[in-house]
Amino acid sequence: MNNVLSVDGPHVTCVKRTSYLECIKAIVANKADAVTIDGGLVFEAGLAPYNLKPVVAEFYGSKDDPQTHHYVVAVVKKGSDFQLNQLQGKKSCHTGLGWSAGWNIPIGILLPSDSVEKAAAKFFAGSCVPCVDQTAFPKLCQLCAGKGTDKCACNSHEPYFGYSGAFKDEYELLCRDNTRGSVDEYERCHLARVPSHAVVARSMGGKEDLIWELLNLAQENFGKDKSAEFQLFGSPHGKDLLFTDAALGFLRVPPKMDAKLYLGYEYFSAIQHLMSDLGAEDPQRVIWCAVGQHEKAKCDEWSALSGGILKCTAEETTEGCIAAVAKGEADATSLDGGFIYTAGKCGLVPVLAENYLSQDGKEQLGSKCVNTPVEGYYVVAVVKKSDADLTWNSLRGKKSCHTAVGTSAGWNIPMGFIYNQTGSCKFGKCALSGGAAAPSLGLCLYEFFSQNCAPGSDPASSLCALCLVEKGDVAFVKYTTVLQNTDGKNPEAWAKDLKQSDFQLLCLDGTRKPVTEAQSCHLAIVPSHAVVSRKDKADFVRRMLFNQQELFGRNGFEYMMFQLFKSSTKDLLFSDDTECLANLQDRTTYQKYLGPEYLRAIANMRQCLPS
């Protein structure tokens, strides 16, 4: 690769080590900067004392639908007569000790407990597990073909090392249901789906920008079907050299994603339990992730009255809470639709959704609320009545206020409309009140609006409404925002004298209407805020929340002690205009919950978002 890269681009130097572990140690010692490793080794590289992080992931599938995962399969010779539950006493071949496909997944399924190497040696009649200490576990190296010190070696000197070494004949697959499938039926007949191979680097001073520049340049010039001179994803002199031969390209891993988040809670926990004697987590408690100190204070108050079923943790940002739930450091949090999309991409699922009071707050669903389909809420553009000449068609060059970057009402919907009109992600300069800084997100550019206030976090704050009152020309908000902050409903100094009649809505047809007419003057209807969790915890979180809202919900038995849907400031943990948390009916994935129209809106906005 070094010989074919342009002299004007990033320069690469190759260093040789005897194993992946030695390469990991070289990176820690600043004697190398990057190596591509299997997901199981990403786990090990992320632990102390190495503390490496994934910076680039291989992708498979197709360029139109890139997949950053692959399937783990059990391959057997055709004509043999045993199933997955009949493997004890058979001879086994493994890609390598600690590899996702070759070790962690199959051993985790077949031997969910016990000392792993000893148990495997007892379970199989003989094996080839490259990287195992053959002195300590001779049976695990019995079938390996390397000569002398190369027998069972953790590199290509052992002929059976890696994927191609374990696959040497005409085979079919063993399925989890103890049936068989052909080798092309891996999507149906597999043991697990695991994260793709990743390039890892140091967490601090890791040169991740330079690594991405190098690999992106390499894939543009020498990727699949790009060049006969050099093939980045092909190994004429071996198999899977530097990168997996089956890879189609690279995707950059988001900067805040560590090994635990990259691997996902389920797989990370499986490896963790495989490598230790950790017991199962306490399933009888929910750890709730609150955003910021105000939410944490309300959560702590709730926890004290919950009978021990709820514990609280906090992060500074919504993204931090999504990561905490995905890693298993928390179990649940409540999110706006825009963040539900992000959470879904991280493997989380919606659990319950907020069902809202009628616009005037007088009509209530009562006991029917939890099973009434969730309709969502209106996204509106609010202006001062005194700015009589301002319409939807004359927003260019005005000052805009947004609830938060990434939220439905404040960002995805209005900016999606503007992107469709202009084809540009250059939405405006940033002039922020309150201190939150959108420029850190790479989202503050210089074209459509003259100034923005788009907080990077804390979508529950009243900053957007304050922005409109003090400096802004237009605010993009949920339709209830004006109603909640006018006519004495918000006692804060900036809001206490505001009147509902001071504001109007901008309609897409260029007209304006009173703020009470959102039903006929809105930008879109978007999904309600919803609680998300991991699949393994979703049912328990759902039961816990139903129990808690019977106590502390709008008509709860203990409503006077604590109110889930009322906040000292605004919309803490849940929206203040929530009547109840409701069942999702059949909308139990993020795609079904958000719906095709909203997913299309986010797809447009993805072009304007960082990795």
Q: Where are the beta strands (DSSP E) in 329-465?
A: 332-335, 349-356, 377-384, 399-402, 428-430, 449-453
Cβ–Cβ under 8 Å, residues 360 and 483:
no
Does 434 show up as a binding residue in the annotation?
Answer: no
Which residues touch 467 (CB under 8 Å, ≥6 apart)? Answer: 401, 433, 453, 475
CATH superfamily entry for domain 286-374+528-606 = Periplasmic binding protein-like II (3.40.190.10)
pTM: 0.70
CATH fold of the domain at 70-194: D-Maltodextrin-Binding Protein; domain 2 (3.40.190)
Does 403 show up as a binding residue in the annotation?
Answer: yes
Distance CA 472, CA 390 (A): 12
The reported pLDDT for the residue numbered 406 is 78
Does 240 show up as a binding residue in the annotation?
Answer: no
Is the pLDDT at 7 greater than 70, yes or no? Answer: no
Task: Give the lowest-confidence range in 377-381, 437-441, 550-554, 557-561.
Answer: 437-441
Distance CA 163, CA 75 (A): 11
Is the pLDDT at 587 greater than 80, yes or no? Answer: yes
Is the pLDDT at 313 greater than 80, yes or no? Answer: yes
The reported pLDDT for the residue numbered 229 is 83
Q: Parallel, antiparallel, or unpaired for β 399-402 and 449-453?
A: parallel
Does 258 show up as a binding residue in the annotation?
Answer: no
Q: Which helix (H) or strand (E) holds 162?
A: helix 162-166
Does 197 show up as a binding residue in the annotation?
Answer: yes
Would you list the domain boundaries of the chain? Answer: 20-67+196-274, 70-194, 286-374+528-606, 381-526
The reported pLDDT for the residue numbered 120 is 79
Cβ–Cβ under 8 Å, residues 141 and 152:
yes
Q: What is the CA radius of gyration of the chain?
A: 28
The reported pLDDT for the residue numbered 445 is 35
The hierarchical CATH code for the domain 381-526 is 3.40.190.10
Distance CA 361, CA 565 (A): 13
Does 40 show up as a binding residue in the annotation?
Answer: no
Mean of pLDDT values over 163-179: 75
The reported pLDDT for the residue numbered 281 is 52
Summarize pLDDT for 423-471 with one digit per residue, the tens: 776 665 444 333 333 333 334 333 567 666 665 544 455 545 657 666 7
Which residues touch 220 (CB under 8 Å, ≥6 apart)? Answer: 226
Mean pLDDT computed over every residue of the chain: 85
The reported pLDDT for the residue numbered 437 is 35
Q: Return the sign of the alpha-carbon dihedral for residues 521, 522, 527, 528.
A: negative
Task: Give the lowest-confidence range in 248-252, 312-316, 483-487.
Answer: 483-487
Provide DSSP, 236-275: TTSSS-SS-TT--EEEEPPTT--HHHHH-HHHHHHHHHHT
Read off the pLDDT band of 535 (50, 70, 90).
very high
Does 95 show up as a binding residue in the annotation?
Answer: yes
The reported pLDDT for the residue numbered 539 is 94
Q: Which helix (H) or strand (E) holds 311?
A: strand 310-315
The reported pLDDT for the residue numbered 287 is 96
Q: Distance of CA 369 to CAs 322, 374, 558, Å? A: 27, 9, 18
Q: Distance of CA 139 to CAs 89, 120, 331, Å? A: 12, 9, 42
Task: Give the lowest-confidence range in 182-191, 307-316, 421-430, 486-495.
Answer: 421-430
CB neighbourhood size of 371 (10 A): 12
Is the pLDDT at 475 greater than 80, yes or no? Answer: yes
The reported pLDDT for the residue numbered 446 is 38
Cβ–Cβ under 8 Å, residues 27 and 33:
yes
Read off the pLDDT band of 162 (50, 70, 90).
confident
pLDDT over 70 percentage in the chain: 86
Decide if 20-67+196-274 and 381-526 have a common fold: yes
Distance CA 485, CA 497 (A): 10
Beta bridge partners of 194: 70
- Token pair recorded at residue 342: 């992000």
- Token pair recorded at residue 57: 């992931």
Distance CA 331, CA 325 (A): 5
CATH fold of the domain at 20-67+196-274: D-Maltodextrin-Binding Protein; domain 2 (3.40.190)
The reported pLDDT for the residue numbered 485 is 86
Does 402 show up as a binding residue in the annotation?
Answer: no
Mean of pLDDT values over 143-163: 84
Which residues touch 367 (CB under 8 Å, ≥6 apart)? Answer: none
Is the pLDDT at 41 greater than 60, yes or no? Answer: yes
Distance CA 9, CA 214 (A): 8
Q: Rounded to an integer, what is the distance from CA 292 to the centroid of its chain? A: 20
Summarize pLDDT for 369-422 with one digit per residue, the tens: 999 988 889 999 999 999 999 999 998 888 888 887 778 888 888 888 887 777
Does 472 show up as a binding residue in the annotation?
Answer: no
Query: Residue 473: how many CA atoms within 13 Å on its side-chain side?
Result: 17
Token pair 């309300």 in the structure block, residue: 298
Does 409 show up as a binding residue in the annotation?
Answer: yes
Beta bridge partners of 379: 478, 524
Is the pLDDT at 119 greater than 80, yes or no? Answer: no
Query: Residue 167: how many CA atoms within 13 Å on its side-chain side?
Result: 14
Summarize pLDDT for 211-256 with one digit per residue, the tens: 999 999 999 989 888 887 888 998 877 888 999 998 999 999 998 8
The reported pLDDT for the residue numbered 213 is 93
The reported pLDDT for the residue numbered 402 is 83
pLDDT over 90 percentage in the chain: 45
Residue 225: burial class (beta carbons within 10 Å; 0-12, 13-18, 19+): exposed
The reported pLDDT for the residue numbered 444 is 39
Read off the pLDDT band of 168 (50, 70, 90).
very low
Mean of pLDDT values over 54-77: 89
